[in-house]
Structure 1
Amino acid sequence: MTASGAGRRRRTVICALPLLGFVMAGALAPVIAPYDPIANDLMASLARPSMEHLLGTDQLGRDQLSRLLYGAQASLILAAAVLAVSVTVGVVIGAAGGFLGGWPDRVALWLMDVTLTLPSLIVALAILGVRGHGSANLVLALSLTGWPPFARLARGRFVSLRRSAYFDALQVLGASRFRILFQHALPALAAPVLVYASIEIGFIVLSLAFLSFLGLGIPPPEPEWGQMLIDARPYLDSALWLALPPGLAIAAVVLASNLLAEQFATDNLPLVRLGMPRRRARMNGSTAGPYRVEELAVAFAGRKVVDGIDYRVAPGRALAIVGESGSGKTLSTLAPLGLIDATARVSGRAVLGQVDLLGGGPAIQEAVRGRRVGVVLQDARGALNPVRTVGALLDDAVRHAGVVPRGRERARSLELLKMVGLPEPESQVSAYPHTLSGGMCQRVMIALALAGEPEILIADEPTSALDVTTQAQIHALLADLRESIGMGLILISHDIAAAARIADDIAVCYAGRIVEVGPAADVVSRPDHPYTRGLLDAVPSPKAVPGTRFRTLPPAEPARRKVSACAFAPRCAHATKRCHVEEPPLQPVTPGHTSACWVRPTVARPIGYDGA
């Protein structure tokens, strides 16, 4: 432990001491209290503090120290009960809304908004006025309006997780939504809930004292700090010692709870960290074979964003799916694995070997992810758990994949790091993601994707945030891995030139459809579709004269695509009337090379811009 870490923990302990003291005092009250807290002794009424009664007695001769100790027990037990109910209800409602989205989220938000508009103490007064005194009614009154802050915390964290690359990474490694919820989301929520709960302790104790002061708290003669203040009020001039102990106790708890919350907030609380599920999928038809996607369609709110995409990847082959942002290339690869928003409507077929991914439903998709299919996400740093070391992340992935005997996870993790070319893997296993460069994080992400020895590896823009040199290294690594392991590779990219260097085949995607597909050499040397030629024109050429302007496509118009028209026609300089009224199918250009265009090119264009 570092000196700064020891100092932070020492300050945390100091801030918690008053609360711990009152908790211990309340718990040990039956043992250490010198007198019965409700026993009257009128002969000792209003006795000053002395060796017999250290804090004096009240108007009925009851020992103040004993009542203070039992009052700590009553106040803190009630505070703990209110806090437990508020945290449980709030986290359940907030987590359900944030994690599920859709109508559960709207209902959760509505409940939170309505409850937050109600003044908490006014609601408590109303409930106690109707239902009467009692501990159960006090817990109900205070927790009824105490849960929304915890629900907001839970919802915010879960919505952020659901939209993060880390959530996608957990899914592609094979974690189910249930396990993500309980092993990763809820532990991550522990720190902010603990901070806010620390503040709430003081507020609840103060609220209980306030309600008791109004005569709506724990009914006498049971001791409670607020009730002790009521009893002391008529004697403030003559017996000040009656009001000071309970008043100071309340102030100490409120101050300590706020200081503790501030300390928790400034101290980096360690998150609870649990591993990936330790199980091996059992599924029929797991024989290795080609991966086929046929007539894939994806729709959101009734609008198709992927429409009739087909592609095939054989073991040991590499397919590059290229296109602009929003063309549908990522959706077409992640949708068959169930890695897109649950509101999407996905249809078509996706078959890996003999396993129907879409027909089998979420259970089959979950069993395939992280084992037979690996995914390398675009934002590698965001996809890695920031509070776990590289070795711990890989160990979990290897354990989850079940490809090595128990106890050999670390050895396999080191093998994977060496395989992806991470320098000095023995020292890097103890490193955290934030200490690694972008290229190193991407190599770790590739190692995670390879942990299950997948038959298909999907690399989604794996070099988009890297410098040119590192991009070349990652592309070379993917090409080497594909050849050495014999797995199929699907590379998603907007850079058709880079894709052509490692892919056997290229599929060009535009507006949710494949507009051209064929062998990489044919597509880049003899492009048929005008959109493919536009992508190639965007590739720099060393032959170009410095200062030469690139020939670019016209900007995309707002989506007004007709069902019976070419989606690219509004941007195409060669479009004919037929292009605006009839959608072209994929037609053969050369053997194995097809294109969806009514206009045949007259001049083949090589890869790169040649200044013409």
Structure 2
Amino acid sequence: MTGGHARVRTVAVALPLIAFAVTGLLAPLIAPADPTANDLAASLAPPSADHLLGTDQLGRDQLSRLLHGARISLAVAAAVLAISLVVGAVVGTTAGYLGGWIDRVVSRVIDVVVSLPGMLVALAVIGARGPGVDNMVLALSLWSWAPYARIARARVAGMRASPHLDALRLLGASRTRIVGRHLLAPALAPCLVFASTDVGTVVLTVATLSFLGLGIAPPQAEWGQMLIEGRPFLASAWWLAYPPGVAITAVVFASNLLGERLAAGAERPSILRLAWPVQFSQPKPAIPAEPGVVLRVRDLSVSYPDRRVVADVSYEVRRGQTLAFVGETGSGKTTAALAPFGLLDPSSVVTGSALLNSTCELVGLTPAQRRQINGRRVGVVFQDSGAFLNPLRTIGAHVDEAVRNTGHGGRRAATRRVTEELLRLVGLPDAASVAHRFPHELSGGMRQRAQIAMALAGEPELLVADEPTSALDVSVQAQLLDLLAKLRDELGMAMIVVSHDLAVVSRIADTVAVVYAGRIVETGPAAAVIGHPDHPYTRGLLDAVPRPGTVPGTRFRTMPGIAGGGPDDLSGCGFAPRCPLADQRCAHHAPALRPLPVAAAHRSACLYPQSLDDAC
């Protein structure tokens, strides 16, 4: 089915709802008579030119009462749905994002409310407070909010680990901002679909309560009230009960069909809005002119409820230099690089010390304190630019938000000028044109450059690049690495690059830290580590790098086994199960990083480093 036909069918099934909503709004203008005006002389008059739907036992015009009944019934339904939708979406979104005990408590409350019979709750509230429009809205809202909360919670819980949220947390967005601006909108989408089906349910419930004498009190016109008044005259005056009955049936069926149509159209991934409207109250500290250590990490450990993934990692990175973390997938390199900045799962526990610019301890910061750091003093370039960038927003809109976040923008024109300058800085040609294009219109390399422009908007002291070239071809990789090196030198930044490829980091890194099973097993100057590797794992990574001039058909040397395990899974060397030099001592003694005789800055965690030269 084409999109045009689908839209036509959706409008067609919604026509009864639209018709009753419009006529209800216009009832005071289009109704032929006052719906409460009695005329006993015209009592029970059949349909005629004067009264198109006849009159009731008090001589009131039935068409006028039907139109005003639509106004009251749909107004009550709209009020109930608005309250239920807002309360349910906010409660469910907040619980789904925060998780933990808050999520568990809210989930139990939702389960209890959903399990209660809605009509009994309404009868109890109205019985205690009396009939009336306000009490009916309150009674129906008390149990109608729970399904919306459940839907919103399920929607947001699936987004909790999204790269979009990582980006927002990096740029310093508060929890309130993330929930209100970036999660509530996508959570509302499925709630609105459910609300379309709930219109009929609420209208039917209102009519039922009025039919029982607990709803809208006479003489106001309401469809349920019209049914109860017409019941004694079913045999003699059919026009009293059938029109409101048909109206209720039409609204219920139309709302159900509309809900089905909307649900079918909504079966595609929702997209989070990306915006970084975070305000900072403190000025960015001045960067010292003399070169020095920008980030010093000591004894960093990261644990999750079931295991520890990084243990006792120490490193430092200096201004104008690049530290590269290298290792296989699952080695813990990304965790070691991102943990100091609070960019891990909320269930992680980070211990140790991470000093930024020798003055700011990053470990243990509150969310409010971290917002003073992330996005301004520290920028991050993520691996998957396709997941990081919102496909519904232009490149310029993304960078504009990052510029406003840092306070470098102003009016829209001034902000856009800064945005275009950033795009030119990262090597994007025709910045004005690129700013108006959407992410899918750019190549992978261009998207990464746009992401780098966003990271540079805060003039960071430190830039962290998490596998920035893994999805790019070789020529684009080289261009992007050259760009990062150029920006590092021109802006005087420190840089951390995470990669699984030693050949990639050799092009940009000053220092290399090789990570295996959550520990650094070798570290030192890039030339020493790559040119004279000491640890068997480092040599294995180098053997896997293709070399120019290799005879076609030559098989690469590979390491036996697969990467895995955490720092606490083995009592000895974590690499021992895969190492050709391992013996019983390696299985029971965990080697520590120690300086090598050639250069003290080059350190290795191997019990038999001298054996490597003999083995080759």
TM-score by length of 2: 0.88
1:369 and 2:374 equivalent? Answer: yes
Match of 2:602 in 1: 593
* Conservation of the 8 A alpha-carbon contact between 1:25 and 1:69: yes
Residue type at the aligned position of 1:167 = L
Change (3 A) 1:464 1:122: farther
Secondary structure of 1:585's match?
coil
Structure 1 residue 490 displacement after superposition = 0.5
* Conservation of the 8 A alpha-carbon contact between 2:381 and 2:468: yes
Structure 1 residue 560 displacement after superposition = 8.4
Q: Distance in 1 between matches of 2:319 and 2:396?
A: 29
Change (3 A) 1:9 1:422: farther
Which of 282, 291, 306 in structure 1 is aligned with 2:310? Answer: 306
* Conservation of the 8 A alpha-carbon contact between 2:380 and 2:465: yes
Change (3 A) 1:510 1:260: same
* Conservation of the 8 A alpha-carbon contact between 1:416 and 1:451: yes
Which of 321, 326, 330 in structure 1 is aligned with 2:325? Answer: 321
Secondary structure of 2:192's match?
helix
Secondary structure of 2:497's match?
strand
Residue type at the aligned position of 2:177 = R
Change (3 A) 1:18 1:273: farther
Change (3 A) 1:280 1:112: closer
Tell me the alpha carbon deviations over residues 502-540 of structure 1, each in whole angstroms, 9 at most, x when there is no partner.
Answer: 101100112222111100111012111122122122212
**Which stretch has the larger CA shift, 199-208 or 520-529?**
199-208
Match of 1:420 in 2: 426
Change (3 A) 1:11 1:32: same
Q: Distance in 2 between matches of 1:379 and 1:150?
A: 32
1:337 and 2:341 equivalent? Answer: yes
Which of 412, 437, 441 in structure 2 is aligned with 1:435? Answer: 441
* Conservation of the 8 A alpha-carbon contact between 2:295 and 2:318: yes
Tell me the alpha carbon deviations over residues 402-429 of structure 1, each in whole angstroms, 9 at most, x when there is no partner.
Answer: 2355442212222222222234432221
Tell me the alpha carbon deviations over residues 240-266 of structure 1, each in whole angstroms, 9 at most, x when there is no partner.
Answer: 222333233324433554565566564
Change (3 A) 1:472 1:269: closer
**Which stretch has the larger CA shift, 144-153 or 293-302?**
144-153
Structure 1 residue 271 displacement after superposition = 8.7
Tell me the alpha carbon deviations over residues 253-300 of structure 1, each in whole angstroms, 9 at most, x when there is no partner.
Answer: 335545655665648999996843263451574435521111111111
Change (3 A) 1:255 1:440: farther
Change (3 A) 1:464 1:30: same
Match of 2:385 in 1: 380
**Which stretch has the larger CA shift, 567-576 or 284-293?**
284-293
* Conservation of the 8 A alpha-carbon contact between 1:456 and 1:487: yes
Match of 1:276 in 2: 276
Residue type at the aligned position of 1:576 = D
Which of 175, 197, 200 in structure 1 is aligned with 2:198? Answer: 200
Which of 76, 79, 84 in structure 1 is aligned with 2:77? Answer: 79
Q: Distance in 2 between matches of 1:311 and 1:272?
A: 35
Secondary structure of 1:358's match?
coil
* Conservation of the 8 A alpha-carbon contact between 2:280 and 2:371: no
Match of 1:349 in 2: 353
* Conservation of the 8 A alpha-carbon contact between 2:334 and 2:466: yes
Tell me the alpha carbon deviations over residues 388-409 of structure 1, each in whole angstroms, 9 at most, x when there is no partner.
Answer: 1111111111111123554422
* Conservation of the 8 A alpha-carbon contact between 2:274 and 2:389: no
**Which stretch has the larger CA shift, 365-374 or 299-308?**
299-308
Tell me the alpha carbon deviations over residues 471-496 of structure 1, each in whole angstroms, 9 at most, x when there is no partner.
Answer: 23322222222223221110001112
Structure 1 residue 122 displacement after superposition = 5.7
Stretches of structure 2 lacking an aligned partner (at least 5 in a row) = none
Residue type at the aligned position of 2:369 = I
Match of 1:518 in 2: 524
Change (3 A) 1:544 1:98: farther
Change (3 A) 1:390 1:237: same
Match of 1:247 in 2: 245
**Which stretch has the larger CA shift, 207-216 or 151-160?**
207-216
Q: Distance in 1 between matches of 2:270 and 2:473?
A: 33
Match of 1:583 in 2: 590
* Conservation of the 8 A alpha-carbon contact between 1:371 and 1:452: yes
Change (3 A) 1:397 1:502: same
Which of 32, 41, 44 in structure 2 is aligned with 1:43? Answer: 41
Secondary structure of 1:196's match?
helix
Structure 1 residue 99 displacement after superposition = 0.7
Structure 1 residue 548 displacement after superposition = 1.8
* Conservation of the 8 A alpha-carbon contact between 2:540 and 2:557: no
Q: Distance in 1 between matches of 2:342 and 2:569?
A: 28
The 5 A counterparts of 1:463-482 are 463-482=469-488
Stretches of structure 1 lacking an aligned partner (at least 5 in a row) = 607-611
**Which stretch has the larger CA shift, 556-565 or 501-510?**
556-565
Match of 1:408 in 2: 414
Q: Distance in 1 between matches of 2:209 and 2:81?
A: 17
Q: Distance in 2 between matches of 1:209 and 1:403?
A: 58
Match of 1:501 in 2: 507
Secondary structure of 1:501's match?
coil
Structure 1 residue 303 displacement after superposition = 3.2
Q: Distance in 2 between matches of 1:380 and 1:220?
A: 62
* Conservation of the 8 A alpha-carbon contact between 1:422 and 1:440: yes
The 5 A counterparts of 1:174-193 are 174-193=172-191
**Which stretch has the larger CA shift, 459-468 or 51-60?**
51-60
Tell me the percent identity. Answer: 53
Structure 1 residue 451 displacement after superposition = 1.4
Secondary structure of 1:327's match?
coil
* Conservation of the 8 A alpha-carbon contact between 2:404 and 2:415: yes
Q: Distance in 1 between matches of 2:191 and 2:5?
A: 23
**Which stretch has the larger CA shift, 235-244 or 267-276?**
267-276
Change (3 A) 1:521 1:93: same
Q: Distance in 2 between matches of 1:575 and 1:553?
A: 13
Tell me the alpha carbon deviations over residues 348-403 of structure 1, each in whole angstroms, 9 at most, x when there is no partner.
Answer: 11122122222543323211111111101111111112221111111111111123
Change (3 A) 1:402 1:225: same
Match of 1:168 in 2: 166
TM-score by length of 1: 0.89
Q: Distance in 1 between matches of 2:250 and 2:527?
A: 77
Q: Distance in 2 between matches of 1:164 and 1:391?
A: 22
Tell me the alpha carbon deviations over residues 203-244 of structure 1, each in whole angstroms, 9 at most, x when there is no partner.
Answer: 211232234344443344432102212322333343222233
Q: Distance in 1 between matches of 2:432 and 2:494?
A: 29
Q: Distance in 2 between matches of 1:422 and 1:177?
A: 33
Change (3 A) 1:281 1:15: farther
Match of 1:609 in 2: none
Change (3 A) 1:156 1:71: same
Tell me the alpha carbon deviations over residues 124-171 of structure 1, each in whole angstroms, 9 at most, x when there is no partner.
Answer: 456656776443443344334422332233223322332111111122
* Conservation of the 8 A alpha-carbon contact between 1:209 and 1:226: yes
Q: Distance in 2 between matches of 1:605 and 1:238?
A: 110
Secondary structure of 1:367's match?
coil
Q: Distance in 1 between matches of 2:583 and 2:271?
A: 61
Q: Distance in 1 between matches of 2:614 and 2:205?
A: 78
Which of 436, 444, 448 in structure 1 is aligned with 2:454? Answer: 448
The 5 A counterparts of 1:109-124 are 109-121=107-119, 124=122
Which of 219, 222, 234 in structure 1 is aligned with 2:220? Answer: 222
* Conservation of the 8 A alpha-carbon contact between 1:71 and 1:223: yes
Secondary structure of 1:162's match?
coil
Change (3 A) 1:360 1:130: closer
Secondary structure of 1:567's match?
coil
Which of 63, 67, 71 in structure 2 is aligned with 1:65? Answer: 63
CA-based RMSD: 3.2
Q: Distance in 1 between matches of 2:605 and 2:303?
A: 22
* Conservation of the 8 A alpha-carbon contact between 1:398 and 1:412: yes
1:571 and 2:575 equivalent? Answer: no
Change (3 A) 1:160 1:436: farther
